[in-house]
Each structure stands twice: as C-alpha cells, then as structure tokens.
Amino acid sequence: MQKNEILRIYGTDYKDMTKRLLDEAELYTHITPGARIGIKPNLVAPVPADFGATTHPEVVAGIIEHLKEHGFTDIRIIEGSWVGDKTEDSFEYCGYNALKEKYGITLVDTQKEKSYSVPHGDISVNICNCVRDVDFMINVPVLKGHCQTNITCALKNMKGLIPNSEKRRFHSMGLHKPIAILNSAIKQDFIVVDHICGDLVSEGGGNPYYSNCVMAGLDPVLIDSYLCKLMGYTLDDVPYIKLAAEAGVGCSDLSTLSMRTIDGDGTEKEEILPRTHSLFKLKDKAEDVDTCSACYESLMEALSRLEEEGILDNLTEKICIGQGYRGKTGEFGIGNCTRLFKHFVPGCPPDSDAIYEGIKAYVNK
Ligand code: SF4
C-alpha cells in the first residue's frame, strides 16, 4: 500500500471485511518481525459501538487476527476515555475485556499511566508512557462529527494518549494547534477507519448514521482531509488538519489521493453523507472559551432536548461555558469553571440532565 492510497470495503460482517481489507493492504508487510504493536481505538465513553461513538470490537478483532496470522504476538490496546468517564468502564462496556480474554492481548488504560514530555518549539506536550513502549501504532478511529472541531477522526484520536490534565490544557489552548503538535510527536504507522456507524453530529454518539464501511491508509492527514470533504466541510472548517500538514505530518492535497474500493465494480462512487450542520444553531446559544469536550457535548445534548421541546427560543442570553471563565463573574454558566457566576450548573463536567434542568429552571425563573 502506498502513502497516497486509501482502501475501503463495505459490508456487514465487520470482522471478516476488516481482515479482507488488511490482506489487500498487506498490513503485515509494513511491520518489523517481533515488533510491539499498539492498537489505538476510540473508546471515548462506555457506550456500545452501535451508539455511534466507539470503535467496533469486531474491527479490532479483525486487526488482531490479521496480525496473529502473520506471526505477531505482542499486541496491546492503548486508550484513555474522555474526562468524566473511566477507561476501565469503556473496556468492559465496549467489548474490549472480551477481546483480551479471547486473544490474550493486553489492555493499557492511559488514564492510569505516567507520562513524558516532548518539547515542540516554545511549548511541550505530555504523552503517556505506553506510546514509547510500542514499535508500531495502528490507529482505529471512528469518523464522527465534533461539536468544537466539526470532525474527529485519525488526527484527533491521538488525544486518548495523553493524561486527563493534558486534555484539559489542550482545550485551554484551543485544540487545533495542540492536536497538530501532538501528531508531530506521535507517529501513527497505519490507520483503520471505523466508518460503520459514526455519529455525524456528536463525539459522544447517540445518532448513529450507517455507512457500513471500513477504510485503511497510511497518512492521517490525507485521511482526515478526505473525510472532512465527505462530511461537507472545507479544510478551513477544521484548522488542525492544515496545521498538521504544515508540520509535516502528512499531505492534505486531495489531488494526490488514490481511492480504491475492495470488491467494488471498478468505479469509485462518492459516498454522500447527510449534512448535519444544524448544530450551528445550538452552538450559537453558547459562549465557549476553552471548553472540555465532555462538558460541551453535555451542553449540546441538553440544548437539543430544549429545542425539541420548543423551550430554546425562550433563552435570550448566551450561556457561558469553559475554562476561560475560571475566576470570572457573569450571569449564567455551565460547570464548575463558572462557579462565580450569578447562576451556574455545578459539575466537572456536569451531565446533560443537570444542564437541561438548570437551563429550564433559569428560563422559567
Ligand atoms: S467545568 Fe471546566 S474543567 Fe470541568 S469539564 Fe467543564 S470546562 Fe472542563
């Protein structure tokens, strides 16, 4: 497989189609014999894959079987859920403890790991130790929408390999630049995109949109650039992709892309994903300054419910949310960062029910 290629396969037998894809890509030829292999899924929260947020265990099973059939035995799954959820719960609920039992692999919870610092220009990033303990990294992201960065896939998935404190710091730095820097510091050697049923609106899932597709590639920038277009965004809408390209992580020029469908009829048909930019209306209700993902997702979920109930239009003021409001005063805020506000919904992060009730009470006061 060449760096400018993306291979894809469609079907519903997720494990077998993943193996077929990896055989075609000859994944094993890219790995040095005896290498320690890290597989990085997306287990953002303890929710099953058909919810649209997490990597299907069947896809990871297909990767493991491909590796084992070619003599690789040192395989570990490395992941840390988002701030507010425990990775150990995600391993259980998302079917990864079962993978461990079945295949005798290791699970590494990055929320429990120590980290090392990698300097980059005038800043540095802290990365969990498990990253330098692997020789070959297979990234297995889910293509999803994201309330702050519009899309999340290969590049942003590396965020599960930093400590929770660093995730908060990334949000305080505006996400895009630190995500690009993180990808300069962590090399992903092979990417398998779970494009089976990602939620096109929310990183946390809940609205799965079925494509029944798995893709493979070598360049995370090229993959994200392609998926950005597929979701109806331009590269200007997702600045971290361009920043990663400028940092030398990969190529964002889609004119170089060679796309091939395995078991297709030889013609490449462009998939059309529904446009989901309705989130913009909800975003308009919030004044976000450096907000953690889980906090923002909860707010969007609560606003969506309020909109369905016709209550949202009664909210005339902007709601403040994010670390940028620490130590500041204001009218109405979400999360402990806004604890000095006249009204605020406590929690770090508060869940969507609490936010929903808090906004409803505020609107009806
Ligand atoms: S309250 Fe502040 S620190 Fe806590 S999750 Fe929300 S934005 Fe992040």
The CATH superfamily assigned to 5-261 is LarA, N-terminal domain (3.40.50.11440)
Q: What is the mean pLDDT of residues 72-96?
A: 96
CB 42 within 8 A of CB 140: yes
Strands (E), 103-172: 106-109, 115-120, 123-128, 136-140, 144-146, 150-152
In this predicted structure, the answer to whether residue 108 has a pLDDT above a threshold of 60 is yes
**CA distances, 193 to each of 53, 69, 198, 343 (Å):** 13, 21, 10, 42
Q: What is the mean pLDDT of residues 92-118?
A: 97
Domain ranges of the chain: 5-261, 279-363
- Model confidence at 75, pLDDT cuts 50, 70, 90, reads very high
Estimate the share of the chain in helix, then strand, then coil, as percent rounded to the nearest 5: 40, 20, 40
In this predicted structure, the answer to whether residue 264 has a pLDDT above a threshold of 90 is no
Give 226 or 279, the one with higher predicted confidence: 226
Closest-lying ligand 1 atom to the alpha carbon of residue 292 = 8
Question: Using one digit for the tens of pLDDT, what is the confidence trace for 37-73?
Answer: 999 999 999 999 999 999 999 999 999 999 999 999 9
Cβ of 323 closer than 6 Å to ligand 1, yes or no, is: yes
To test the ligand 1 pocket, which listed residue (82, 290, 293, 295) has its Cβ within 8 A of the most ligand atoms?
A: 295
Distance 275 CA to ligand 1 centre (A): 29
In this predicted structure, the answer to whether residue 353 has a pLDDT above a threshold of 90 is yes
Cβ of 142 closer than 6 Å to ligand 1, yes or no, is: no
To test the ligand 1 pocket, which listed residue (85, 164, 167, 168) has its Cβ within 8 A of the most ligand atoms?
A: 168
* % of the chain surpassing 70 pLDDT: 97
Cβ of 322 closer than 6 Å to ligand 1, yes or no, is: yes
| Alpha-carbon gap, residue 266 to 109, rounded angstroms | 42
Cβ of 276 closer than 6 Å to ligand 1, yes or no, is: no
Closest-lying ligand 1 atom to the alpha carbon of residue 322 = 7
Amino acid at the residue 282:
L
* % of the chain surpassing 90 pLDDT: 76
**CA distances, 355 to each of 51, 257, 312, 337, 361 (Å):** 22, 43, 13, 14, 10
Cβ of 291 closer than 6 Å to ligand 1, yes or no, is: yes
| Angle, helix 176-185 to helix 164-172, in steps of 10 degrees | 130
Closest-CA residue, ligand 1 atom 8, reads 292
Closest-lying ligand 1 atom to the alpha carbon of residue 290 = 7
In this predicted structure, the answer to whether residue 223 has a pLDDT above a threshold of 60 is yes
How confident is the prediction for the chain on average, in pLDDT? 93
Question: Using one digit for the tens of pLDDT, what is the confidence trace for 128-177?
Answer: 999 999 999 999 999 999 888 889 999 999 999 999 999 888 888 888 99
The pLDDT assigned to 87 comes to 97
The pLDDT assigned to 226 comes to 96
- Model confidence at 280, pLDDT cuts 50, 70, 90, reads low
Closest-lying ligand 1 atom to the alpha carbon of residue 348 = 4
Question: Using one digit for the tens of pLDDT, what is the confidence trace for 293-328?
Answer: 889 888 988 998 888 888 888 888 899 999 999 999
Distance 365 CA to ligand 1 centre (A): 25
In this predicted structure, the answer to whether residue 330 has a pLDDT above a threshold of 90 is yes
The pLDDT assigned to 162 comes to 95
Q: What is the mean pLDDT of residues 78-97?
A: 95
Distance 291 CA to ligand 1 centre (A): 6
Distance 86 CA to ligand 1 centre (A): 16
- Model confidence at 16, pLDDT cuts 50, 70, 90, reads very high
Closest-CA residue, ligand 1 atom 4, reads 348
To test the ligand 1 pocket, which listed residue (321, 323, 351) has its Cβ within 8 A of the most ligand atoms?
A: 323
Distance 62 CA to ligand 1 centre (A): 37
In this predicted structure, the answer to whether residue 114 has a pLDDT above a threshold of 90 is yes
Cβ of 335 closer than 6 Å to ligand 1, yes or no, is: yes
